A = this chain, B = another copy of it.
Amino acid sequence: MKPFSSYKNPALAVDLVVFGYHEQNLSVLLLNRKEAPFKDQWTLPGAFLQIEETFQQTCSRILKTKLGMDDVYLEQLFSFDDPARDPRGRVISVTYYALVNPHKLEIAAGKMANDVQWFNVKKIPALGFDHKKIFDKALQRLKSKILYFPVGFELLDELFTMSELHQLYECILGIEIDRRNFSRKMLVAEYVINTGQKREGLQNRHPELFRFNKKLKHHNFQLNIINP
């Protein structure tokens, strides 16, 4: 084996798929590149890993400096290794996906550079690098994860109605779910807790507000929907 220092190392980038939920639509944050390669094309936000950084720290740096946000749900997605994925040379991309609540970022919205924009996941433009592949993988992961892990709550406010949760699931999974069965399932699985409070000021009956049950033993939960 060669001595440790003689290896030529590829560059290591961290790229992020940031999901948000706006007006009953799942959306993703894209960045319009200002420099080559893929100048003026949309890409996922990313940065090169600095030698002393953990992946999470790189993620935080991207979120803070490029997007003006912090403290979000992050999960490692996959590492991409196509030797041709970056025209500048060999770059490995370690990817994460993030779930953010855009409401909580309204202050941050001002800080967001004007080359950053939310796109409905059903209408995303052509992406530079292999970022379409990364995005596809992230969406697929989110779809399957939400069936057995409380991952969707990160996209909602702390208090939410059953309809809001129901719509979120239908939107992410892209299928219809019977609202009555959905509600029962969420309650008997103790996935959510009824706060007793109600949402005021709506036109119709005031719906009850729920919060996520953080004490749940998640292993028990499974939404029996075959992943489409």
Which A residues fall within an 8 A CB radius of B? 1-2, 4, 7-12, 35, 47-56, 76, 78-79, 81-83, 88-90, 92, 94, 219-220, 222, 226-228
**By the criterion CB–CB under 8 Å, are A51 and B9 in contact?**
yes
| Inter-chain contacts of A228 with B (CB < 8 A) | 219
Number of copies: 2
**By the criterion CB–CB under 8 Å, are A1 and B52 in contact?**
no
Choose one: B11, B83, B94, B222; the contact of A226 (CB below 8 Å): B222
Assuming A9-B10, A76-B78, A219-B228, what are 10 further A-B pairs, CB within 8 angstroms?
A: A4-B88, A4-B89, A7-B48, A9-B12, A52-B83, A54-B81, A54-B83, A79-B94, A81-B94, A219-B227
Given contact pairs A51-B90, A226-B220, A226-B222, A11 touches B1 in the complex (Cβ within 8 A): no
Choose one: B48, B78, B92; the contact of A12 (CB below 8 Å): B92
Please, which residue of chain B has its CB at the minimum distance from the CB of A89? B4
Please, which residue of chain B has its CB at the minimum distance from the CB of A222? B226
Choose one: B54, B82, B94, B227; the contact of A54 (CB below 8 Å): B82
**By the criterion CB–CB under 8 Å, are A52 and B82 in contact?**
no
**By the criterion CB–CB under 8 Å, are B11 and A7 in contact?**
yes
CA distance A47 to B50 in the complex (A): 22
Please, which residue of chain B has its CB at the minimum distance from the CB of A228? B219
Top-8 shortest CB links A-B: A9-B9, A55-B81, A8-B51, A79-B79, A54-B81, A4-B88, A7-B48, A79-B94
